A and B are shown apart, each in its own frame.
Chain A
Amino acid sequence: MFSSSSLPIQPLCIRIIQPSNLIKRMSVTLQCPGYPEDTLRSLAERLPCRETQLATLLALMGQPDQYSYPSVFIYGHRATGKSHVVLSIMKDLELPHASVDCVECVSSGLLFHQVLSAFFGPDAAALLPRCPSLSDFVRLYKQMSSNSPATQTRYIILDRAERMRDMDFSLLPALLRLQELVNDNVTVILLSEIVWEKFRPNTGCFEPLLFHFPDYSKAELVQILSWDHHPSYTPELYASYINILLGVFFSVCRDLRELRHLAVLNFSKFCEPLEKGEAKESDIHKLWKNIEPHLQRAMQTVYLREVSSVQWEQQQMDEKEATTLRVLSAHAHIELPYYSKFLLIAAYLASFNPARTDRRFFLKSHGKIRKTNFLKKHEKTSNHLLGPKPFPLDRLMAIFYSVVDSRVAPTASVFSQISSLVTLQLLSQVGHDDQLDSPKYKCSVSLDFILAISRCVCVCVRLLDLLALSLVIQSQVVRQERSLFTAVSNLHLL
């Protein structure tokens, strides 16, 4: 095992919100009556940097035969070890438990089914009626638990509990006090990435015990990631590799799984100088120089899944630095039929130009418009910042006819192209009333896309003028920087 002596571990603080008197600050050495000591020790070893959480949880659970708190709500960001810790406890201590992933439960019936079959076997679950209600579940649970009363606390673990909010509104309050309802020693543990305030139903409910799993700090990440070091290299080398990796990625990503994935992907590249004999394991600086640009490139490609991990590895094998892989977003160009292109251009113009300006842009003999008051004040802010506006079909067709050079008959296929553009999600339909008379659409493609299309379509300079005009009006274009978004989503602002 890798010794963590060289790496300082920050003292962890537990944040327990309620009720604080229940939990006392514990020493890291686990001592819980009722559980075998050596299992606890191995458990603590397997859950690095989560010792405090482990101890707290065990304290909450109490001895196996004692009644536990009816419901516990555990929250923390993605990959902070919530389900891992809880499920490891359950497994290692061989406690009776039912673990359910709420994404899978498309109906509450499935949830009941899984819980019952985990506690009482599939035969019990088969007794559930076709569309079981909550009371069916409670009745069946009572019946079963009277036959085989709990000798140990039973645990129901609901992963991704935020999905419960979309299910039956009475389900969550009922599960929170299931212990009372079924009169059995059962505890419901909810795991979620978002805070309890977003759960609380407006009718009020039993408040569960809240328990926060904090993010791993950088040092903790290093410690955990150093765990899966390569057998053929020393742990120290792997740890320094992880340090370098975190130096690049820590600012954009703190997801442990993602980091672990990246660590695995890039390690062979890191070891390359070692295998070639160009550097020794102690030459950290040399190794860093070798891997650093590579990791930067990885951040732009494989981390964003622009390049699949297999392709990334193959590229490393091939050793050809010059050949840049064709990334996913590089294939942005779409071949469209001739009229579809014009329809899309017309839709773009209709979406981003104010309707008042149509006369000026598309009529040959438009009246004189005073330049000073041409645009109202609120229209001077960039339309691209405001996003596309809906427009009726009539306006789209009018612009379409004026944009296309030749005369186009209003054939059925022109109209069907509009609906196929909608299914391709290049246009989107707005509102669902009045579909027959005047459907409304929005254009959902970017300016770059439209410019590419108009470049390959138009011989006529006029169209480019139009687009240029709309550009002048809409001063600034916000480029969608995908990595920026990812960074934001990693901050978990919900």
Chain B
Amino acid sequence: MSEIPLTSSVSKGCFVFKSASKKRKRHVGVGGYLVDDSDENGSDRFRICQKLWETVQTNTEVIQDQLNKKVLDSLAEFIKKHGLGCSSDVWRQRGRETPTAALMLGVNVPDHAMTFRSLCNLLQDSVTPFVVSVHAKECAAVKLLIQKVLEQLMGRGVSVDEEQEDDTALLQRTQCTISALCQWYKTVTKKCTQVFPQRTESLTNSDLPQSLPVVVIFKDFEAFNSQVLQDFILICRWDLCSEMCYSSIKFLPFIFIFGIATSPSAIQHRLPHSVSSLLCIEVFHSLSCTQHLASVFDKLILNSQFPFKLSSRVIQVLVGIFLYHDFSVQNFVKGLQFSMLEHFKSQPLSMLCCQKQEALLSAKTLSKKNVERIRHLPSFMRYVETQEPQEQVRLLTNDEHVKEVCQKLLKNLHKYHKNYYPILQCLHSLTSSLPKFPLGKHIRELHVSCIEKNLWETEEYDSALQLLRILAKDELVVALRKCAEILKSTKILQNVLQQLEDFIGRLEALEGVSSEDSSGNGILSGKMEYQKTDLFQLQKTLLEKESRRTKRMNPFEVLRSQVIEFIDSLVREYLTPAELQPLNEVCYYSSSGVLRQRLNVTPRTSIQAALSHPFYYLQNESLKTDAGTISSAAPDLCIVYKLHLECGRLINLYDWLEAFLTVMSAAEDQDTNSEECGKYDSLKHARFIQAVSEMEFLGFIKSTKQKTDHVARLTWGGC
């Protein structure tokens, strides 16, 4: 009361005073949150993280553009063709059908926004300035849809040149009709032809000078009300009859683009024949989302240039969300971003997770704390154990030595990654053509099994090698050629490439030497292909072959087994699991549990956890209880929840209240129960009622009319 500020006013009233405590600012920027007392290089990590995120973003955009280029170009071609040329042939009267492109985008709705953005940009740059895109939720009625279209078109016209402000003022009045749009279109196209004389020249060929098409993009076709769509198409149609009779008001070259998530037959389901007969529909397919994911995966995860890595479990979580839940590449990239943020936040040593030179530099200047952290890394400890005792002592005591070793280890880690990916690709190209895909169809599956465990100890690898051992010569040569291509493009592992090419040369040279042998071999391999589907037969022939090999092997077989040995040795050398690499924790984010908890949330489980174990969220010592007992210290809601678990489908409110009171009174007065028994004060009653209504709010119970004084349970199980 003492702090009432004085005013100069003599009258009574309300006065506004700005609080003086605003000067204290919390943090400067986002980076400030990372600066902590215990954390000296938080801002560095934040910087690295941001830089990495930028590369991720640019990369994904580039990938999307590349993959979408084909379909977008063909769309633009379609619009150009229909917008400029087609209506010239009067006899055919094509004009009465509105050209429509059905763009199939797949069910991954979150990814569509980016496609539409690039489509809009492309069309505006190369075809027509009049592009409108509408969302279903903005257009619940035809009126709103027309308004939206007019707003976007005319608004754009105004932004182009300022003299048209009076037009928008006119729009403010009731003039939300297509005829108003036609008027506007006429004036604008006239201006356009004045502004761009070169455009008019190109247009003089066709007899319609003003034929820049108006493109309307329906972003989510399925969600539109079909009546709205029908009306809009009817209004926008370019009818022979209306063309003649409504004079030329009606001439507006509309082109529709339907963004369809399901299948083209959705058009036929939404529109009756009388309306769909006004459209000239062509179907365009955009890229499939799995293909998109594969290229993102190649670029961001199977890339030694990108220092941040994911462990196998994390990859499984992210890919699982993609395949099982949403098919959305955007969400996958968001998941990647989240794991990056989480990694750089929780792992102080992640400051070493950057490009090689930078990492080496910061390894030189590690602080004492961070050196200690390195010593505690499990992978580093494993490394120390393998060293000589003398070296071990040095590593554990001498900070400078640790820094040097750390640099060496970082170099090794980078080298490991550099070699890992080409070899992985080689192995994938060798095994991806095998029947039944023993090592997985996609390279990501192979990658996951490689970084998880020793690949060569798995059964799948054995069976893959078995299958490789029976490859025919030409198949083997083709596969090896592919490997050589991959290695050539990376420009490392030159000695491996040398050896590979040597093998290829020897295989080819074999041709002339042993034609009679290869003929026998050809029959064998022919038979093999014939029986490929039958696994039992295959096994038998393999066994046969095994026994025969002991007898005699022709030069091809000898060479082939050499090749397989060589590949096996490569796998054993380069495709070691990442967890075995010292200092892998710096680059690898491995807490899949956190990721799953954050990205694939289970709201009901968390509500139930909160209600049955309040300690989990409240962290109050008094709430720690054994399972099965109901403590009176817990919040009322928890007590009520636990009691209701013991009931059937219908719950008697009075019994429930009794049980509640028993729990409440159990703790406070065990000995004075004689007078309290059977009575309750209104406070407890009120608390009970409140808790019950909260339960209703959370959706566990609802009132029922089947029985008086009862409520119905909405969940099942539990007791």
Q: Which residues of A contact B (CB under 8 A)?
A: 78, 83-84, 87-88, 91, 99, 101, 103-104, 106-107, 109-110, 113-114, 126, 128, 130, 228, 230-231, 257-258, 260-261, 264, 304-305, 308-311, 326, 328-329, 331-340, 409-414, 417, 420, 423-426, 436-438, 482, 485-486, 489
Residue of A nearest to B331 (CB): A413
Select B263's contact among A101, A109, A332, A410, beta carbons within 8 Å. Answer: A332
Looking at A78, A114, A411, A482, which has the most chain B CB atoms within 10 Å of its CB?
A411
Contact mask for chain B residues 263-300; partner A; CB cutoff 8 A; 1 contact, 0 none: 11111110011101101111100001100000000000
Residue of B nearest to A193 (CB): B274
Residue of B nearest to A326 (CB): B283
B593 CB within 8 Å of chain A: no
Contacts A228-B91, A423-B220, A425-B266 given; indicate if A106 touches B261 (C-beta within 8 A): no
Binds A, one of B104-112, B123-131, B436-444, B569-577: B104-112
**A336 cross-chain contacts in B, Cβ below 8 A:** 107, 327
Chain B, interface residues (CB within 8 Å), range:
35 or more
* Residue pair B107, A437 in contact (C-beta under 8 Å): no
* Residue pair B324, A339 in contact (C-beta under 8 Å): yes
* Residue pair A328, B222 in contact (C-beta under 8 Å): no
Q: Give Cα A28 to B542, complex, Å.
A: 94
Q: Give Cα A420 to B241, complex, Å.
A: 41
7 further contact pairs, Cβ within 8 A, besides A87-B244, A104-B177, A335-B288: A110-B176, A332-B263, A340-B107, A410-B602, A420-B107, A423-B109, A485-B273
B622 CB within 8 Å of chain A: no
Q: Give Cα A341 to B266, complex, Å.
A: 18
Residue of A nearest to B147 (CB): A106
Select A328's contact among B223, B268, B605, beta carbons within 8 Å. Answer: B268
Residue of B nearest to A445 (CB): B262
* Residue pair B605, A83 in contact (C-beta under 8 Å): no
Looking at A99, A230, A335, which has the most chain B CB atoms within 10 Å of its CB?
A335
* Residue pair A412, B603 in contact (C-beta under 8 Å): yes
* Residue pair B263, A331 in contact (C-beta under 8 Å): yes
B663 CB within 8 Å of chain A: no
**B268 cross-chain contacts in A, Cβ below 8 A:** 305, 328-329, 482
Q: Give Cα A110 to B91, complex, Å.
A: 35
Q: Give Cα A409 to B606, complex, Å.
A: 12
* Residue pair A337, B326 in contact (C-beta under 8 Å): yes
Select A412's contact among B109, B269, B602, beta carbons within 8 Å. Answer: B602
CB-CB contacts below 8 Å: B348-366 with A = none
Q: Give Cα A413 to B605, complex, Å.
A: 13
B642 CB within 8 Å of chain A: no
* Residue pair B223, A423 in contact (C-beta under 8 Å): yes
Q: Give Cα A425 to B263, complex, Å.
A: 11
* Residue pair A128, B107 in contact (C-beta under 8 Å): no
Select A264's contact among B92, B102, B279, beta carbons within 8 Å. Answer: B92
* Residue pair B326, A310 in contact (C-beta under 8 Å): no
Select B222's contact among A101, A310, A339, A425, beta carbons within 8 Å. Answer: A425
Q: Which residues of B contact A (CB under 8 A)?
A: 91-94, 96-97, 99, 102, 104, 106-107, 109, 141-143, 146, 173-179, 220, 222-223, 231, 234-235, 240-242, 244-246, 261-269, 272-274, 276-277, 279-283, 288-289, 321, 323-327, 600-605, 699, 702, 714
Q: Give Cα A260 to B96, complex, Å.
A: 11
Q: Which 9 A-B pairs have the closest CB atoms?
A: A106-B143, A87-B245, A413-B325, A328-B264, A338-B324, A308-B280, A329-B265, A411-B602, A305-B276
* Residue pair A437, B702 in contact (C-beta under 8 Å): yes
Q: Give Cα A269 to B222, complex, Å.
A: 37
A-B contact pairs, 29 of them (CB 8 A): A87-B244, A103-B234, A106-B176, A130-B174, A228-B91, A231-B91, A264-B92, A264-B93, A305-B276, A305-B279, A308-B280, A308-B281, A309-B97, A310-B280, A328-B281, A328-B283, A331-B104, A335-B288, A335-B327, A337-B324, A337-B325, A337-B327, A411-B325, A412-B603, A423-B220, A437-B699, A437-B702, A437-B714, A486-B273
* B62 shortest CB reach to chain A, Å: 24
* Residue pair A304, B273 in contact (C-beta under 8 Å): yes
* Residue pair A309, B104 in contact (C-beta under 8 Å): no
Residue of B nearest to A490 (CB): B273
Contacts A261-B96, A328-B281, A336-B107 given; indicate if A106 touches B141 (C-beta within 8 A): yes
* Residue pair A83, B241 in contact (C-beta under 8 Å): yes
* Residue pair A106, B146 in contact (C-beta under 8 Å): yes
**A331 cross-chain contacts in B, Cβ below 8 A:** 104, 263-265, 283
Residue of A nearest to B265 (CB): A329
* A150 shortest CB reach to chain B, Å: 22
**A308 cross-chain contacts in B, Cβ below 8 A:** 97, 279-282
Select B235's contact among A103, A126, A486, beta carbons within 8 Å. Answer: A103
Select A329's contact among B143, B246, B264, B288, beta carbons within 8 Å. Answer: B264
* Residue pair A83, B107 in contact (C-beta under 8 Å): no
Q: Give Cα A251 to B94, complex, Å.
A: 25
**B702 cross-chain contacts in A, Cβ below 8 A:** 437
* Residue pair A337, B265 in contact (C-beta under 8 Å): no
Select A424's contact among B146, B175, B222, beta carbons within 8 Å. Answer: B222
Q: Give Cα A413 to B146, complex, Å.
A: 35
Q: Give Cα A310 to B86, complex, Å.
A: 10
Residue of B nearest to A303 (CB): B277
* Residue pair A413, B321 in contact (C-beta under 8 Å): yes
**A413 cross-chain contacts in B, Cβ below 8 A:** 321, 325-326, 600
**A78 cross-chain contacts in B, Cβ below 8 A:** 274
Contacts A110-B174, A332-B263, A413-B325 given; indicate if A99 touches B602 (C-beta within 8 A): no
Q: Give Cα A336 to B96, complex, Å.
A: 36
Looking at B222, B262, B280, B603, which has the most chain A CB atoms within 10 Å of its CB?
B262
Q: Give Cα A230 to B104, complex, Å.
A: 38
* Residue pair A91, B325 in contact (C-beta under 8 Å): no
* B595 shortest CB reach to chain A, Å: 13
Q: Give Cα A437 to B712, complex, Å.
A: 12
* B593 shortest CB reach to chain A, Å: 13
* Residue pair B263, A333 in contact (C-beta under 8 Å): yes
Residue of B nearest to A109 (CB): B174
Residue of B nearest to A163 (CB): B231
* Residue pair B324, A311 in contact (C-beta under 8 Å): no
**A328 cross-chain contacts in B, Cβ below 8 A:** 102, 264-265, 267-268, 281, 283
Residue of A nearest to B146 (CB): A106
**B277 cross-chain contacts in A, Cβ below 8 A:** 258, 261, 305
**B231 cross-chain contacts in A, Cβ below 8 A:** 103
* Residue pair B222, A489 in contact (C-beta under 8 Å): no
Contacts A310-B282, A411-B602, A412-B603 given; indicate if A83 touches B261 (C-beta within 8 A): no
* Residue pair B605, A409 in contact (C-beta under 8 Å): yes
Select B602's contact among A409, A417, A420, beta carbons within 8 Å. Answer: A409
Residue of A nearest to B100 (CB): A308
* Residue pair B178, A104 in contact (C-beta under 8 Å): yes
Select B107's contact among A260, A337, A411, A485, beta carbons within 8 Å. Answer: A337
**A230 cross-chain contacts in B, Cβ below 8 A:** 91
* A446 shortest CB reach to chain B, Å: 10
Residue of A nearest to B245 (CB): A87
**B602 cross-chain contacts in A, Cβ below 8 A:** 409-412
Residue of A nearest to B78 (CB): A310
Residue of B nearest to A231 (CB): B91
